[in-house]
Amino acid sequence: MSENPQLRDVFDAIADPTRRQLIHLLAETDELPLHEMTGQFQMGRTAVSKHLTILKEAGLVRDRKVGRETRFRLDAAPLREVQDWVAFYSKFWSANLLRLSELLEEEEDGK
């Protein structure tokens, strides 16, 4: 069984700009304690902690206790679902824009 089961939808978790900023912050380092992350935001420790809990429920963040401190790190694996979804629509738009370009060329040639 997984150590950190996904309890929340990844898309829901990344919908909030603060959570996306937390993901970015954690992506830039191996691990950060809560107090260091809190200093990056104009909100209190409790609010940052709630955002981290949502990310943790989506499987995007893991935590561990070191003494009295809780340290957080990114687990980007669930973002694969987002990447796959975006890739599908990227192909969709590329194909449609190519077809539009072809139609415009045909129209231009017909004049």
Q: What is the CA radius of gyration of the chain?
A: 20
Handedness of CA 51, 56, 61, 64 (dihedral sign): positive
Report pLDDT for 3: 52
pTM for this one? 0.76
Q: Name the DSSP class of 3.
A: S
Residue-wise DSSP of 6-75? --S-HHHHHTSHHHHHHHHHHHTSS-EEHHHHHTTSSS-HHHHHHHHHHHHHTTSEEEEEETTEEEEEE-
Return the amino acid letter for 40: Q
Q: Tokens 């980007």 label which residue?
A: 76
Q: How confident is the model at residue 79 (pLDDT cuts 50, 70, 90)?
A: very high
Q: Are 92 and 99 in contact (CB under 8 A)?
A: no
| Over residues 14-29, mean pLDDT | 96
Percent of the chain topping pLDDT 90: 65
Report pLDDT for 68: 92
Task: Name the burial class of residue 22, with classes exposed (0-12), middle (13-18) and buried (19+) by CB atoms within 10 angstroms of its CB.
Answer: buried
pLDDT above 90 (res 107): no
Six-digit token pair at 77?
Answer: 């694996």
Report pLDDT for 111: 67
What is the rounded average pLDDT for all residues in the chain? Answer: 88
